[in-house]
Structure formats: C-alpha cells, structure tokens
Amino acid sequence: MVALHRAAIEAYLAEPSAAQPIALVFGPDAGLVSERVQAILRATVEDLGDPFRLVRLEGDELAADPARLIDEAGTIPLFGGKRAIWVKAGGRDFARALEMLIATPIADCRIVIEASDLRRGAALRTLCERARNVAVIPCYADGERELARLVDDEIRAAGLTIAPDARAALVSLIGGDRRQSLSEIRKLVLYAHGKTRVELDDVLAVVADASVLALDGVVDAAFAGKSAEVEKEFARARSSGIAPGRIVTAALMQLSQLHRARLAVESGTPMTEAIDRITPKAQFRRVPAVEAALKNWTAARLERTMAQLAEAGLQTRQLTGAAAALSDPLVSRALLGIAQAARRRMD
C-alpha cells in the first residue's frame, strides 16, 4: 500500500496491524528508521534477545537464497507465540524473496525490513507500496512540530518541565537525525539533574553548537553597530576554530538577508514582518540585533557594504602560506568597519 501518513504510522507502531504483517521502514533519517524498527519489533516480541523469537537476516543473503525468507516466516516457534524477522536491506536486490513472501499467507510472524533512503521508483519501495499486506513507513527528518513533541515527551519522562524560551531554542538546535536529537535531549536532562525546570542557559550550555552561536554573535554585533562586541565575538569565533573565510561567508549571507528585508521595509512591509521572514521564530535571541540592523541600514548602503565585504573575502582567499596569518586582521578590520558604519547611521 502507499506510504502511511503520520497518524497512521503512530498507530501502527503502537499496535502493528495483523492485516499488514510486513513492514518496510526506510528514509534518510537513520536514527528515526532504527527507532521505528525497534518499536515494531518490541510490539511483536517481548525479548529481542531471544533467537527463537527474533531472526536477523541480511538482504544480501536473501538475494542469493530467496526461499529462505519464506522458510523462516513459516517456521513455528518452538515454545509457541509470535516470531519476528528483521531484515536489513543491503546493496543487492532481494525483490524475488519479498515477492514470494507477499504472495504467501503469514500467521504469527512479523517481518520488518530496515532500509536506507529509497528513491521513488526503487524496486523494493515500489513492490511494497503496491502490496496490501505491507505497511510502508517513510522516515524523514523531523519538522518543528515533531521535534517539539519529542522534546516534550523526553522532558516529561524525566520528571522535568522546560521554560518556553529554552524549549524554542532547543528545537532550533536539534533535528536532522532522530538518534542525534534524542542524544542531545538526554544529555540536557542529565545536565539538569537535581533541578525541576530546564532553563535557556542550560540549553545553551549543553546543546548549542558553539561555532554556530559564535558566528551569529560576531555577525549580529557588526551589523548592529556594536564595535566592542565585534572584537570579543570575533575572538570567540576564532577560538571555536572558525576560519576567517567562513566568518566572511556568514556575514555576506546575513547581509543578503538584511538587504532583502530592508527592501521590503522600504516598500511598506512592517518591520516585524520583515524580521520574521529572515529570522526563524526559534532564534528569538537574534531578533533585537536584526531589528537594530534594519533600523541602521538602508538598502543602498547595504549594497555598497556587500561589495566591500566581498572584496575582503576575495583577499582572504588569496592569502596562502605564511601570508594566511593576515586573514585575521583583514576580516576583523572589515567587520569593525561595518560596525562603525552602522554607528554613524545611529548617530
């Protein structure tokens, strides 16, 4: 059948349907794939370490011996009860083994196929999507809603609460892979041991990517006209291992976003709406700096600054060997120049 939607996936994970004894779990989020495979297996077999109840097979093995999957699915457990077969797809095509399985009535056995990302039209995916007795479960990177629910569930399970700003920041800093997201949340829970509520400082101390925060800090300080902070944040970025060229690239990206937002403001768009367009809601801590930048700069001045900053970036890339040491003062001077230009506007 076609891929299950989110609500149907949750229902299947909680109580796998007898009408769909076969499940294909696939997608680019390896952590989420693994989590859902384990959930289906646990809902079928009490002890995943019992070799009589859980059989592990490799797809590459089934490609060479298609009949083995049918034989395993038809085996009656020595002590009764349900069995599960966990198939890990590899590089070889085992569609023949699966075709035989789909065409055979299955009793007291569940077959879970774990695969990586399968493009639309891939033989394994197409075969499963066309079969009524197969649950097709895609696993894509969590969106904001899924991440928020994941955070709430883990925090609640730990007997904690979380401040709204800490929750928003945490959601903005995780995602991409369910396993990694869970690891970060659980690390935060351990850090907050002995407390009743997780605060923003806890999130920033444990979960936040120091390099991302350092980049945000130096770039925002420059465009907001905070010269003293530029020097401090530039030193922080460099101590985090961020190359001068990467700092220039981040500044150019921010400059481009500010330019688009400023054009919108000059065309009549309210300031708050323009800020929302370029600053994700979860990154609320950046809003004051972005607002200050939009007030300090006109679109025309941002265009001129873009050309100057691009020239600084070019010079940085051209510095090689011993001369590369000049990149730090070159980039620092460029950012201080931006901050001074912003200050002149403010004055």
Structural domains of the chain ordered from first start: 6-138 (3.40.50.300), 150-202 (no CATH), 210-346 (1.20.272.10)
The Cβ of residue 135 has, within 10 Å, a number of other Cβ atoms equal to 25
8 Å CB contact between 26 and 138 = yes
8 Å CB contact between 181 and 149 = no
Using one digit for the tens of pLDDT, what is the confidence trace for 238-272? 876 678 888 888 888 888 888 988 998 888 888 88
Strand partners, 23: 112, 135
Q: Where is average pLDDT lowest: 89-98, 126-135, 205-214?
A: 205-214
When pLDDT is cut at 50, 70 and 90, the band that residue 4 belongs to is confident
Using one digit for the tens of pLDDT, what is the confidence trace for 183-225? 889 999 999 999 999 998 888 778 756 566 667 888 888 988 8
Taking alpha carbons only, the member of 1, 17, 129, 111 closest to residue 59 is 111
Phi, psi (rounded to 5 degrees) for 333: -65, -40
Q: What's this model's pTM, rounded to 2 decimal places? A: 0.58
